[in-house]
């Protein structure tokens, strides 16, 4: 079982528009409402592909009730921790060329007592999990020290911890000795203080995170695919998408596929890239099912050319 933790979940409304024009009245060609949050998406993707997962989420207000209803409707195993604040709502505007505009609320304040309740739920459930995956942004309220303590307690208890976050939260996971961290290009640049221009820059940044404590680094790079740097070396992979519809949740699907296939080596990276590409081909934040997956377009190579430039 893979336990996911989403400290700042959401209800996501995705609208498809012909073109995003400021100041105009726009008509949506299609719309979707999905449960949101990076860890939630990981659980949804795993479930859609027959891998057991439990999602831990703090929920509050009418939107929190809606989030629980949406997750129950999809059959997601759920540990909901009630909070006083209102679960946030996010809006995604998707254009036909694949351009995505997101409007994300900050989310409710999580008090120290509420964060302690969430942490207890995570630590209790972690005993039965193969992986504990903490994903997404921190909500207002919890200190980075409290988050770092949760990561350290999980690692100290023997859990295999994966962290997909940004800024200080990502670095806290690294320092705690997370078995896996999954930054995207922007998060990787923020973590090491330098914008990567080539694959070599990405590889060097991943190695710096490993030297700081992470067991493995899976860097998602959008159109440039993904880079995996671990104790076995370096792998690079790409999976082109002919008709992109939404990038929302693509990195979450990538992580879910990677974990589902053992989280190591070319086979796991291939699976992750296939899941991520399938998510890009779907509207809103829908997660791919086995029928959506096409592994034939995935290309994974060891020791890629470090001079290869990244797309701007």
Nearest CA to 178 out of 228, 235, 133 is that of: 133
* Residue 34 annotated to the active site: no
Residues 106, 170: Cα–Cα separation, whole Å? 18
Do 238 and 298 touch, CB atoms closer than 8 A? yes
Q: What are the backbone angles phi and psi of residue 194, rounded to the nearest 5°? A: -155, 135
Residues 267, 260: Cα–Cα separation, whole Å? 10
Task: Choose, from 12, 230, 252, 292, the residue flagged as catalytic.
Answer: 252
What are the catalytic residues? 252
């Amino acid at each position: 079982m893979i336990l996911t933790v989403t400290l700042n979940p959401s209800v996501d409304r995705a609208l498809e528009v012909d073109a995003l024009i400021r100041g105009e009245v726009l008509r949506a060609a299609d719309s979707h409402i999905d449960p949101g949050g990076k860890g939630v998406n990981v659980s949804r993707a795993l479930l859609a592909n027959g891998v057991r997962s439990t999602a831990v989420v703090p929920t509050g207000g009418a939107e929190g009730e809606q989030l629980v209803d949406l997750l129950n409707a999809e059959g997601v195993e759920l540990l909901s921790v009630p909070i006083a604040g209102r679960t946030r709502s996010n809006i995604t505007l998707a254009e036909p060329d694949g351009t995505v505009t997101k409007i994300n609320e900050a989310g409710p304040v999580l008090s120290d007592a509420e964060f302690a309740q969430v942490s207890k739920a995570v630590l209790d459930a972690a005993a039965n999990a193969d992986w504990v995956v903490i994903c997404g942004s921190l909500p207002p309220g919890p200190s980075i020290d409290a988050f770092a303590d949760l990561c350290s307690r999980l690692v100290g208890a023997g859990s295999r911890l994966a962290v997909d976050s940004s800024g200080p939260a990502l670095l806290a996971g690294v320092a705690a000795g997370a078995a896996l961290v999954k930054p995207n290009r922007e998060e990787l640049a923020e973590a090491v203080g330098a914008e990567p221009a080539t694959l070599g820059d990405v590889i060097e940044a991943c190695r710096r995170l490993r030297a700081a404590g992470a067991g493995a680094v899976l860097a998602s790079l959008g159109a440039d695919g993904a880079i995996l740097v671990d104790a076995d070396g370096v792998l690079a992979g790409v999976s082109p998408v002919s008709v992109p519809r939404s990038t929302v949740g693509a990195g979450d699907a990538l992580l879910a596929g990677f974990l589902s296939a053992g989280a190591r080596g070319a086979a796991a990276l291939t699976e992750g890239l296939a899941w991520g590409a399938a998510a890009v081909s779907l509207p809103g934040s829908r997660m791919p099912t086995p029928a959506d997956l096409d592994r034939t377009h995935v290309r994974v190579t060891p020791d890629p050319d470090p001079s290869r430039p990244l797309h701007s």
